[in-house]
């Protein structure tokens, strides 16, 4: 077992406590590039607690001191429609945290942070950031807020109003920590915090997220969580293997059919395709 607790389990059980906010604040500050302070952990229908509920992903919704909503989600298993689930999570947070009858100007800014352990989309980088901008079709100018709108919203740009999305593709990280944000991603990937790391929040995480510090009941719960992850990984690997085998068998059958039509012997077809005689005779 690794020396430190996996971040996905820690964020569900330990980092929700106010005494540990410094860990999450450190990570978010390194990611977003500004000083992030957490006001409170918010409850929503997606914040489920027990290890049997959605154990393959973790949702945490917090509000910072700027009254922005920050969604932190960790996803271990592959989801083809994950981009749309990000959109759903943002939309849900927006609608849950505006009071009935309030003006649209009261809609909270949402920052969606997604730490994923599977290959999503196509791209070479391991950190992606998405914002909303409006550009003129003809003049290619960027649409700006008017002075009155800046005063109303307390923001400088339209992108500051709209959701901001971060995607961290952990498995695509090469384990070379070139800066303090990379140190966090190294931790996400390896459940290890090196003594030399300087990133905000990691020193606190190094002390508080040690497996050895867990009470016996919590340690057993953590071990069960790891078993669940291994089980999910095994299922995913099996499904992938079976799908590849099905494609391979289909290709071999097509080759056998062509060889058989050309008059090749069953023995030759077996040598080329590794099919059984009975399979060859049926094509």
Strand partners, 124: none
Rounded Cα–Cα distance for residues 10 and 16 (Å):
8
Residues in the chain: 283
Q: Is 96 exposed, middle or buried (0-12, 13-18, 19+ CB in 10 A)?
A: middle
The angle that helices 180-190 and 21-32 make with each other, rounded to 10 degrees, is 120
Write the CB contacts of 48 (distance below 8 Å, at least 6 apart in sequence).
54, 59
**pLDDT, tens digit, 9 for 90 and up, residues 2-26:** 789 999 888 888 888 888 899 999 9
The answer to whether residues 26 and 201 touch, using CB atoms and an 8 Å cutoff, is: yes
Specify the DSSP element, H or E, that contains 223.
helix 216-261
pLDDT at 115: 96
**pLDDT, tens digit, 9 for 90 and up, residues 129-177:** 999 999 999 999 999 999 999 999 999 999 999 999 999 999 999 999 9
Tokens (6 digits) for 44: 């929503």
Tell me the pLDDT of the chain averaged across its residues: 89
Residue 215 three-state SS = coil
pLDDT at 1: 63
**pLDDT, tens digit, 9 for 90 and up, residues 230-279:** 877 788 778 778 888 888 889 999 998 899 899 888 888 888 898 888 88
Rounded Cα–Cα distance for residues 145 and 160 (Å):
10
pLDDT at 66: 93
Instruction: For the chain, give every domain's residue range.
Output: 7-213, 221-282
pLDDT at 139: 96
């Amino acid at each position: 077992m690794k020396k430190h607790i996996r971040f996905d389990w820690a964020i569900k059980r330990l980092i929700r406590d106010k005494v540990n906010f410094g860990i999450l604040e450190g990570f978010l500050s390194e990611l977003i590039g500004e000083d992030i302070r957490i006001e409170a952990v918010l409850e929503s229908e997606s914040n489920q607690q027990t290890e049997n509920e959605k154990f393959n992903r973790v949702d945490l919704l917090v509000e910072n001191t700027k009254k922005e909503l920050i969604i932190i989600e960790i996803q271990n298993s592959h989801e083809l429609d994950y981009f749309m689930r990000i959109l759903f999570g943002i939309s849900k947070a927006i609608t849950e945290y505006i009071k009935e009858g309030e003006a649209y100007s009261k809609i909270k800014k949402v920052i969606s942070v997604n730490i994923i352990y599977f290959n999503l989309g196509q791209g070479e980088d391991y950190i992606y950031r998405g914002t909303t901008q409006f550009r003129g079709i003809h003049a290619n100018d960027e649409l700006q807020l008017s002075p009155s709108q800046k005063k109303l919203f307390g923001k400088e740009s339209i992108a500051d109003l709209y959701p901001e999305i971060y995607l961290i593709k952990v498995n695509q990280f090469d384990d070379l920590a070139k800066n303090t944000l990379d140190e966090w991603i190294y931790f996400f990937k390896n459940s290890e915090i090196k003594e030399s790391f300087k990133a905000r929040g990691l020193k606190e995480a190094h002390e508080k997220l040690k497996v050895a510090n867990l009470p016996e009941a919590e340690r057993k719960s953590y071990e069960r969580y790891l078993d669940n992850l291994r089980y999910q990984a095994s299922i995913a690997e099996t499904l992938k293997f079976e799908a590849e085998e099905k494609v391979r068998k289909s290709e071999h059958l097509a080759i056998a059919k062509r060889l058989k039509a050309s008059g090749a012997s069953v023995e030759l077809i077996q040598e080329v395709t590794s099919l059984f005689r009975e399979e060859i005779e049926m094509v």
